[in-house]
Amino acid sequence: MGGTASSRTAAVNSRGRPLAAPGLRGLLAVAAGCAALSSPARAADAADPALRDARLVAAQRSDLAVLQVSGQSMLPFFDEGTVIVAQRIDPARLRLGMVAVYVNRFGQTVVHRIVRKVDGGWQVQGYHNRRPDTTVVNAANLLGIVYAVFQPLAPPSPRVAAAGPSPVAIAHAAPAR
């Protein structure tokens, strides 16, 4: 893990409004950089300014990655299609209230809020879930934390979805498993 940046950059949406959630310190890195985008990725960027803007932010640092949210357990903060930028973080820096991106015991990438410290790591839970996730977040499965959030102007386009596999890694915001 590298050192932390001494300056802070605020992401903004196409209307100039800040996108970084208060109190969050970073994002996660699970996908490769944005240098060479495939044709489906370029098509998705053209159709979705949120995705394009998130890629621009993530391209500035090697510890950032872009993910798209699938599911509704994190409403009202993340809805289906929300684009997040995640940052790798040293697990020792995790704190209550941060939104972690991790791989659960079923192999899914999940984005949920840290709700308590437990033996072996941290317990996480989606806002709309009645109970916490069964997978404890720790150094072995932590990918990072949410650094910036980009809300799409419209639901994902069926035309972009038909262009092929998603050009963006998916982070599930789903019922606890």
Assess whether pLDDT exceeds 50 at residue 128. yes
Percent of the chain exceeding pLDDT 70 equals 61
* pLDDT for the residue 8: 30
pLDDT in tens, 132-158: 999 999 999 999 999 999 988 776 554
* pLDDT for the residue 28: 30
The answer to whether the pTM exceeds 0.75 is: no
Assess whether pLDDT exceeds 90 at residue 19. no
Can you tell me which residue has the tokens 């949120």? 50
| Cβ atoms 103, 143 nearer than 8 A | yes
Structure tokens at 35: 């240098």
* pLDDT for the residue 27: 31
Average pLDDT, the chain: 73
Structure tokens at 71: 């599911």
| Cβ atoms 141, 84 nearer than 8 A | no
Please tell me whether residue 111 adopts helix, strand or coil conformation: strand
Half-sphere CA count of 138, side-chain side, radius 13 A: 9
Structure tokens at 59: 């391209």
Cα torsion angle, 93, 95, 101, 105, sign? positive
Complete domains list, the chain, with CATH: 39-172 (2.10.109.10)
| Cβ atoms 109, 67 nearer than 8 A | yes
- Per DSSP, what are the bridge partners of residue 67? 84, 169
* pLDDT for the residue 24: 27
pLDDT in tens, 63-89: 999 999 988 888 888 888 899 999 999
Please tell me whether residue 60 adopts helix, strand or coil conformation: coil
Assess whether pLDDT exceeds 50 at residue 53. yes
161 or 106, higher pLDDT: 106
